Structure 1
């Protein structure tokens, strides 16, 4: 299994990538569930869309905030242990959900617990796996693991929406818990922390290297890293563009597209299918983006990604009025670009700050992403209540993506040799 020896047909790191892909896929499916629970909760409990959006907003924020500390925990305690703890917390939180009756309970279970649990298995997990197991093909691996978020919607949302319509939302929750329990067993048996555990070299390396022990405080080291990064122009631009990225993806579209379709008479299952279609095309687009990030100027990749996403969001209000055919066009075009921004952003952060700090730095960039997503999730619900339409939030998101495109090209270019 040593990548240098080529004596084994399969490098075990690819098995680790597969397990990580499935874990991130399930976490993404859980994170996206509130979008299909919003309408059932309105009907059963009488909760307002703004109130439900507030819960989703808190969950999204915590999902991002835990990222830098997750990076430290993954290094200190090992990938497998942290994954098992996070999955167990999620299983417990979801198991209690069917018994809730008040909005504050939903806030604790999904805003707080699920937000922290899924945050421990966010993009930082993918970056940590790629850095520890791969020297070559890092961009491709990050692209594949990032695409798992979209694939989670592809597999989960239409199925869960169908279960909700036919049987009820509680059975959809139980189905998700069953999937988590199976995944806990898979991680416990086959997941490994580092190539050194198996006595092999990382993919593309010639020597077996023992990982450095984590130094510093789990809580203070990420904060010190943040204060150091705030002095760096590249970090500020990456964090700024990722704020707009979060605002225009899971915060707005991931949370409010299904309710927006409902406002236009489009059934919930069909709307979930549109998100799933986006997931399918984002699986293609983000994996391709990872491949491109190993070969082209990542600043200009980000310019095109944000620019094209902005144009698609400006088209969305007209697509909603025009009907399913136009929404299908939007789903394909927007889906190719949903989170294609992650591989170039990871690459630029790694080149600027080095492999050792890349996970923690990217964790803070993800915090900016989730702050933007949180703002969009909450403000989108409020604007819908005030104006009775999502047109203004969709158009606003389109314009800020165009701003993000211009910000991306202002990032200083550095040679890729800065990172091994």
Structure 2
């Protein structure tokens, strides 16, 4: 066994609980549940309340706008108070907010206000909080650890969406929202309570102190051109990838697939996301991350071009959905990995929070624009074709980032009591 593999194995032995709690927290948090569920629930709301697809998808823009302020804010709070406190407060409130959607009564105003509460509470469940702890515990196996942690989104897409579809079919959309609200409270919260631990060391006097991690300060990072290059690239990448996901069922339906065929196609997205996170994480530990990002984030252009071409068949639709899911499984991982490698861990959470704003802005606004385009033209073909080009051009920007930075080894802060 090589030294790299031996060190990586030791990291996993010590940090498996953190990975599991992050997997469940991210997979059942705001980065996952709304995106994967609203495509199934939207047609039922259209039927019962007469709302348009565009009006309903405004909900994703609401939580996006809140994330723009919430992500950096919770990044700062995470650095100040630790991820564990933020997560243990945020997960129950987030679950209750999601469950409150079951009380919707046909008022768009009430529907939107509920999503405001969802955005405020859900910001505590974003990958910012969980990936901070993972990044601080892993070094040699950082990419794979991040991939495993973020695999929860794919697991929900693969296992959760079919279950949600059955609940919606048998009991309606109100029961669906109750299910979505219960999962964070009954599954993610207990895991975080039992397994999520801060990165601390024990001093000879028995005191537990946080490990001081090296890196750039937030102010230094904001003066670094690499930060702004990453931010500029993330916005169009997230726009191109964020629109098709919540509209996937509608895209396939407009392409001519039957509801029965669609049910056999969409679960592949979650499976592909799982595969993409594992493969991408393994590659990030061995290959220059910007090159990995360029290749894997450019591949979905093939899917977008095909999905926007019109008449679809089941076989090619499965391939396109799998390829799209494979790439979408790596985007958060790449950003978390490159944040740690280029800027260090001294101010990781607020830096990642600001970069997440760019991702959230593109991913949140895209479904609304997609929905409006569908309302006007009756399909998504124009948007999908344009996003295929946009994706390749923006992903290529990462290739200009250059070499990783080197940071000194971490050391514990001296918090021993004054004698």
TM-score range, shorter chain: 0.7 to 0.9
CA spacing shift, 1:185–1:235, aligned 2, 3 Å: closer
Q: Which residue of 1 aligns with 2:185?
A: 181
**2:91–2:184: 8 Å Cα contact kept in structure 1?**
yes
**8 Å Cα contact 2:339/2:352 also seen in 1:** yes
Report what 1:219 is aligned to.
Answer: none
Q: Retained in 2: the 8 A contact 1:284–1:336?
A: yes
Question: CA offset at residue 327 of structure 1?
Answer: 0.6
CA contact 1:39–1:259 (8 Å) conserved in 2: no
Q: 1:373 to 1:316 in 2, by over 3 A?
A: same
Deviation at 1:196, TM superposition (A): 2.3
CA contact (8 A) 1:13 1:133 kept: yes
**Kindly tell me: are residues 145 and 261 of structure 1, through their superposed partners in 2, closer, same or farther at Cα, counting changes over 3 Å?**
same
1:275 and 1:188 map into 2 onto residues whose CA distance is 29
Match of 1:113 in 2: 117
TM-score between the two structures when normalised by the length of structure 1: 0.85
Contact 1:36/1:268 (<8 A) preserved: no
| Deviations, residues 327-382 of structure 1 (Å, cap 9, x unaligned) | 11112222221132333333332232222123321221111011111221111111
Shift of the alpha carbon at 1:14? Answer: 0.8
Q: 2:43 aligns with which of 18, 39, 44?
A: 39
Corresponding residue SS for 1:87: helix
SS at match of 1:211: strand
* Counterparts of residues 380-399 of structure 1 (less than 5 Å): 380-399=370-389
SS in 2 for 1:409: helix
The secondary structure found in structure 2 opposite 1:66 is helix
Match of 2:18 among 16, 19, 32: 16
Change in Cα spacing, 1:372 to 1:315, as seen in structure 2 (3 Å) is same
Instruction: Please name the residue that 1:217 is paired with.
Output: none
Q: Structure 2 regions of 5+ residues with no counterpart?
A: 1-5, 410-419
Aligned counterparts of 1:184 and 1:285: Cα–Cα separation in 2: 23
Cα distance in 2, alignment partners of residues 322 and 269 from structure 1: 14
Q: CA RMSD in A?
A: 3.0
| Alpha-carbon contact 2:236-2:390 (below 8 Å) kept | yes
- Tell me how far apart the structure 2 counterparts of residues 327 and 372 of structure 1 sit (CA, whole Å): 25
Q: Using the alignment, how far apart are the partners of 1:9 and 1:264 within structure 2?
A: 46
- 2:125 alignment partner, SS class: coil
Q: Does 1:311 align with 2:316?
A: no
Q: Pick from 233, 239, 259 the counterpart of residue 250 of structure 2.
A: 259
Which residue of the other structure, out of 217, 233, 236, is the alignment partner of 2:225? 233
Q: How many residues align?
A: 396
Alignment of 1:91-110 (within 5 A): 91-101=95-105, 102-110=107-115
For residues 385-419 of structure 1, the C-alpha deviation after alignment (integer angstroms, 9 at most, x for no partner) is 111110011111111111113212122x1245347
CA distance in 2, matches of 1:170, 1:129: 35
Partner of 1:417 in structure 2? 406
Q: 1:5 to 1:148 in 2, by over 3 A?
A: closer
Q: Unpaired segments of 5 or more residues in structure 1? A: 201-207, 215-223
Does the alignment pair 1:146 with 2:150? yes
Distance 1:273 1:213, change over 3 A: farther
Spell out, residue by residue over 1:298-322, the C-alpha distance to the aligned partner (whole angstroms, 9 max, x if none): 121122123212222112223x512
- After superposition, give the CA deviation of every residue in 1:66-121 in whole Å (9 maximum; x if it has no partner): 222222222322322211221121222133222221111111212x1222333222
Aligned counterpart, 1:220: none
- Pair 279,416 (structure 1): closer, same or farther in 2 beyond 3 Å: farther
- Tell me the distance in 1 between the aligned counterparts of 2:188 and 2:244: 30
- Could you state the TM-score of these two structures normalised by the residue count of structure 2? 0.85
Q: 1:140 to 1:105 in 2, by over 3 A?
A: same
> Hey, what's the Cα distance between the residues in 2 that align with 1:100 and 1:397?
33
- 1:40, distance to aligned residue in structure 2 (A): 0.5
Deviates more, 1:131-140 or 1:44-53: 131-140
Partner of 1:292: 283
